[in-house]
Amino acid sequence: MELDGKKTLDSDEKMIQEAYQDLLDGYLNSNHRKKVEIIERAFRFAKEAHKGVRRRSGEPYIMHPIAVAKIASQEIGLGSTSICAALLHDVVEDTDYTVEDIAQHFGPKIAQLVEGLTKISGGIFGDKASVQAENFRKLLLTMSEDIRVVLIKMADRLHNMRTLGSMAPNKRYKIAGETLYIYAPLAHRLGLFAIKTELEDLSFKHEHPDIYREISEKIQESEARRSAVYSDFSEPIKRKLDSLGIKYEAKARLKSIYSIYNKMETKHLPFEEVYDLYAMRIVFDCDDQSKEKGICWSIYSAITDLYQLHPNRTRDWIVTPKANGYQALHLTVMGPDGNWIEVQIRSRRMDEIAEKGFAAHWKYKIGEGDEESELNAWLKTIKDILDNPEPSAIDFLNTLKLNLFASEIVVFTPAGELVTLPAGATVLDLAFHLHSEIGLHCIAAKVNHKLMPLQTVLKSGDQVEVLTSKTQMPLPEWSNYMVTAKARTRLRKGIRALRQPMVLRGNEILTRWLADNHIEDNNLVITKIQGIFHVGNREDLCYQLGADEIVLGDFLVKPLRKATGKTGTGLLSKIPLIGKMVGSTTGQTKTQEAPTSESINTKQVYRLQSDENGANYKLASCCSPLPGDDVMGFIADDGKVEIHSLDCPQAQILKAGYGSRIVATEWAKDGHELFLAHVRIEGIDRRGILQEITQLISSHLGIDMRKLEIEASAEVFHADLWVRVSDADVVNDLCSRTKAINGVTRATRIH
């Protein structure tokens, strides 16, 4: 036994040293100043601190900090300070060492980064909504102090996603959900495109393993055909560029599996009809940054001499880079097989910035300018939101998402000042962007010298003069005409200031009434009152009380005292779990309290079933899942387990925001209950085709039709059909058989 233990220790030591040497080799091959001694000290310090500790996967814990440091160094391009911080990032959180110890051994800068990472440990989110919002707020505040904190955090998340397979299903859903909802768009906004793509693919792989595998196999099967098409397309371009004497590298850039799946879902296409599976990328060498633009356009000219250009798909991100620093020239041309192919043209500098994001900017920085960098401008916007956070964690995260995912337009003020806004931005967005007072008193605008209303959507190149009036007061419904987080935050702050006297009066009324009736003022009670009066939060409740719009009466006393009669401190502790939890190994059943992150047995799955007393779950109306779909359970406020499809947008929000309420589920295979499913059918109209479709469904397949809407225009028809089925396989079979009818071009289930 001692011999086996020694062998394990020896193999562990060998694995650790090889991983560390790999990290060091990559650093030594970079352009950073070589500070090997401090990295060596940080490695030895972290290794000793984590000695004897193993990850869930069984490997020594130190392998995780080494992997994070390697990603930070080799995939993001950070230097020795960040490598040391990455190696030490879990030391303060998981051992007895303090930030002061780190500062004493490694200096204030590394200690500051480690402290920033410790503040946001355990992922962005904790188990409670308020903790989630606060942790995310800390992340962004720390980001605004030193961007390297969030870049190392991104490396930490990427390695956790690469090793997610060892986690329990409900934990995987939570982590994959928050990754897709927050980390991937944040990576995109920071210009970390390679990391953003991998985070999306890994999240998708863990949420939909079967679909991921199916698309992967189809990509492999179509490789030979795709390579032949790419070769036919690229060879003439290469010959042309060679003749021009341009030094370049050309390669096919395959769409990510997640992007392919998204396109299939949004366009309702089978894999075979996703024609833009790849793009061609041309990366050229140029030592003089002032010549990059000219070379880009000479390559553009060479390509358009060979192939037909798509008139609406040229994107010049060189003159006006994206807000995350991305620069390139994109064009789309008709390939030899008759399909459109995108070509991306970049210099080596642009390519590195595109792949590694803002970290690469430091390498190419040429002196200090007067203007703020795009990143600092974005961080300034984020700080604007942080100063006035949403009361609800989910609202807060959604507000951030407005900025994270935005693509940009550029408009001009009358003085010629250039303003970058998200696509879809309105006059109100611009007004609040310029100043809160301008937004709050905005009445209209002159867009290109023409008077236009507040809700007018702006386009790139518009010249906009915002008109104001002192008598104008802001309205809550203005938020319906805004797309920027900044505008919505400033509007809420302005309205809140106007409402504050009423809110204070209402809060006094509420507090006094609860005290007089001996009812505890806690979250459960307030949530119950909000539900009775149909208001979204405490502030709205107090405002309506203060404005005498609602009145607290005796009818509330009994239900509120009943609600607080049980022990427990939080809402979740009072929610019973309907039904039974089924052990995946023993099959034993037992009654279970509402699962929390601490209490859930990682080997248990919630079985979805129904009997004469009804179902032990409810289906979410937003995605209408069926047995056979990849689903998850969410414990709603009423204690019922609500079932969502894993890729439902609302499910993404729930996974990101309420991880402790997520339950791994499985469908009971009884097949007695029927569910409503929506199928869309399209095709070429001809006499008798509708009769054939309905006969197939009712007579041959024996499926109960509940509703049919059909519309024909010229020679084309569109039909929406609602049927009652036992599971997803029945719908898939229905779609497959319907497509076999002469004239039907598409039959797809609509979620």
Return the minimum-mean-pLDDT range out of 409-418, 454-463, 721-730: 409-418
Amino acid, single-letter form, for residue 306: L
Out of 10, 18, 93, 521, which one is annotated catalytic? Answer: 93
The larger pLDDT score, comparing residue 119 to residue 247, is at: 247
401: confidence class by pLDDT, cuts 50, 70, 90: low
639 Cβ contact list (under 8 Å, min separation 6) = 575, 576, 577, 578, 594
pTM, full prediction: 0.61
pLDDT computed for residue 368 by the predictor: 36
Return the minimum-mean-pLDDT range out of 108-112, 235-239, 534-538: 534-538
CA separation for the pair 348, 88 (Å, rounded)? 33
225: confidence class by pLDDT, cuts 50, 70, 90: confident
pLDDT computed for residue 369 by the predictor: 34
pLDDT computed for residue 361 by the predictor: 54
CA separation for the pair 337, 35 (Å, rounded)? 53
The label of the residue with tokens 């960040």 reads 82
- Residues of the chain with pLDDT > 90, as a percent, come to 24
Q: Which residues of 634-652 are buried (b: 16+ CB within 10 A; e: fewer)?
A: bbeeeebbbbbbbbbeebb
Q: Each residue of 59-109: pLDDT tens digit?
A: 899 999 999 999 998 888 888 888 999 999 999 888 888 889 999 999 998
Q: For this structure, is 93 an active site residue?
A: yes
CA separation for the pair 54, 67 (Å, rounded)? 14
pLDDT computed for residue 392 by the predictor: 55
The CA-based angle 673-168-634, given to 5 degrees, is 45
pLDDT computed for residue 585 by the predictor: 31
| Farthest-apart Cα atoms in the chain, separation | 89
Q: Is the pLDDT of residue 571 over 60?
A: no
Q: What is the DSSP letter of 29?
A: T
Return the minimum-mean-pLDDT range out of 70-84, 343-357, 606-620: 606-620
pLDDT computed for residue 201 by the predictor: 94
pLDDT computed for residue 405 by the predictor: 52
Q: Is the pLDDT of residue 141 over 70?
A: no
Q: Each residue of 426-448: pLDDT tens digit?
A: 999 999 999 989 999 999 999 98
CB 211 within 8 A of CB 732: no
Question: From the CA atom positions of the chain, what is the Rg in Å?
Answer: 29
Q: Is the pLDDT of residue 575 over 50?
A: no
Q: Is the pLDDT of residue 417 over 80?
A: no
Q: For this structure, is 704 an active site residue?
A: no
Q: Is the pLDDT of residue 602 over 50?
A: no
Tell me the C-alpha to C-alpha distance, in Å, between residue 553 and each of 74, 510, 534, 537, 550: 65, 11, 16, 19, 10
To 10 degrees, what angle do helices 169-178 and 649-657 make? 100
173: confidence class by pLDDT, cuts 50, 70, 90: confident
Edge-to-edge strands of the sheet including 464-468?
450-452, 442-447, 464-468
Q: What is the mean pLDDT of the chain?
A: 80
What are the tokens at 671? 């097949």
Out of 22, 94, 134, 276, which one is annotated catalytic? Answer: 94
pLDDT computed for residue 592 by the predictor: 37
Tell me the C-alpha to C-alpha distance, in Å, between residue 252 and each of 227, 228, 231, 249, 279: 9, 12, 9, 10, 6
CA 268 to chain centre: 22
